[in-house]
Amino acid sequence: MLNELISEGAVLETGLAPSTGGRRPLMYAIKPDISYVVSVAMDQFVSRIAILDMHNRLVTPVVKFDLPLANTHDALDQLSGKINELVEESGIDKNSISGVGIGMPGFIDIQKGVNYSFFETKQKSITEYIEERVDMAVFIDNDSSLIALAELRFGAARNKRNAMVINIGWGIGLGLILNAGLFRGNNGFAGEFSHIPLFSNGKICSCGKTGCLETEASLAVVAEKAEAGLNTGKISILKKIPENYEQASDAIINAATRGDKFSIELLSEAGYNIGRGAAILIHILNPEVIILSGRGSSAGKVWQAPVQQAINEHCIPRLADKTFIEISSLGHQAELIGAAALVMENYEKTETKLK
């Protein structure tokens, strides 16, 4: 079978592996340009799209665009147009594209291709609606689940049986990896970590309840606290917080990695609150590792000490003793990689979806 794949140009010989005592084995890999995937990563404020090859390498630049998360066909028409535009500009034949993977926030039924929070399409599912416009197989999933999938296949959760992947973004998402696979719960909505009611702060959350983890730990809240602090005279290399949340969070994280005391304090406070939530996960699920991933993970080790401190304070020591905190090496690219992985996880369905 391997020889057949080589003769067909699907597999390439990549060299010799290190010796384990005998003859060095030959190594092989899938030819990177044998197929491609269109990958879309969405959040509440910005969407990104790119084409990846079979080695998860970008073959087009990542394109950012605004897409309103409204329950209208207009947003899906815009998204379909962006997909077609990117493919056309890339020069890649659609027949060489295995499919389109889309990560998005919200309560998503991956089997039906429906998002119960955004993009109502009435008679048709989101996947059917987009497939008709792009003429490619389309798969959707929750953004935090795809970040966890990326970590499971290519990141810090690889070869781990039980891991919790925390998506630090505009909310605090969670992907659950149990018994070396994604755990979605009874109806597919497991992992709403952001909405654990941890605080008696009276702050209204995006879900409508008060006191959720999101109200004290999200990057949006960090940006708001940064602006409030500067207005009261806090000393910082930050002079002004941009109104755009994406630019604001990037500015705060960059300042923290440069040693800015005020920015580090802001992220440390958020990290401690994330750690309080992580302590609950440890008591319930006893994971091998908790991975901090997503947009906010670019702050790196700034997160580790406050998260670990909260776990030390709020966990039974024997339960937490074998749970390690790791920072993702995939970072903000995790959702794009996960969206591509989603297509390949469903590769057998790609040919039948459009028939």
Task: Please give the Cα distance from 187 to 315 (Å, whole number).
Answer: 29
Q: What is the model's pLDDT at position 108? A: 92
**pLDDT tier for residue 355 given thresholds of 50, 70 and 90:** low
Q: pTM, whole model, 2 decimals? A: 0.92
**Quick check: 91 pLDDT over 90?**
yes
- What mean pLDDT comes out for the span 324-347? 95
Residues forming beta bridges with residue 166, ordered by sequence position: 174, 292
Q: What is the model's pLDDT at position 71? A: 65
Q: What is the model's pLDDT at position 17? A: 87
- What mean pLDDT comes out for the span 183-194? 90
- What mean pLDDT comes out for the span 244-255? 93
- What mean pLDDT comes out for the span 156-175? 95
Query: Which residue in 116, 94, 117 sits closest to 44, CA to CA?
Result: 117
Three-class SS of residue 274? helix
Nearest 10 degrees: Cα torsion 192, 198, 200, 205: -20
Task: Please give the Cα distance from 66 to 82 (Å, whole number).
Answer: 11
Q: What is the DSSP letter of 82?
A: H
Same CATH fold assignment for domains 36-143 and 156-329:
yes
Residue type, 111: Q
pLDDT digit string (tens) for 21-69?
A: 788 888 998 898 999 999 999 998 899 999 999 999 999 999 999 888 7
Task: Please give the Cα distance from 189 to 185 (Å, whole number).
Answer: 6
Task: Please give the Cα distance from 225 to 152 (Å, whole number).
Answer: 33
Q: 353, exposed or middle or buried, with CB in 10 Å at 0-12, 13-18, 19+?
A: middle
Cβ atoms of 118 and 111 closer than 8 Å: no
Range with lowest mean pLDDT among 66-75, 228-237, 323-332: 66-75
Cβ neighbors of 174 (< 8 A, separation 6 or more) are 144, 148, 164, 165, 166, 167, 191, 192, 193, 194, 281
The CATH number assigned to the domain with range 156-329 reads 3.30.420.40
Q: What is the model's pLDDT at position 22? A: 80
Cβ neighbors of 214 (< 8 A, separation 6 or more) are 171, 172, 194, 195, 205, 206, 207, 221
The highest-level CATH class for domain 36-143 is alpha beta
pLDDT digit string (tens) for 216-227?
A: 999 999 999 999
Three-class SS of residue 38? strand
Query: Which residue in 168, 227, 170, 165 sits closest to 46, CA to CA?
Result: 170
**Quick check: 299 pLDDT over 80?**
yes
Three-class SS of residue 43? coil
Three-class SS of residue 114? strand
In this structure, are strands 36-42 and 97-104 parallel, antiparallel, or unpaired?
parallel
| DSSP states along 138-162 | EEEEEHHHHHHHHHHHHSTTTT-SS
What residue segments make up the domains of the chain, in order of their start? 1-30, 36-143, 156-329
For 175-189, letters b (16+ CB in 10 Å) and e give bbbeeeebebeeebe
Q: Which residue has the higher pLDDT, 8 or 167?
A: 167
Q: What is the model's pLDDT at position 339? A: 97
- Mean pLDDT rounded to a whole number for the chain: 93
Task: Please give the Cα distance from 115 to 105 (Å, whole number).
Answer: 8
Task: Please give the Cα distance from 249 to 245 (Å, whole number).
Answer: 6
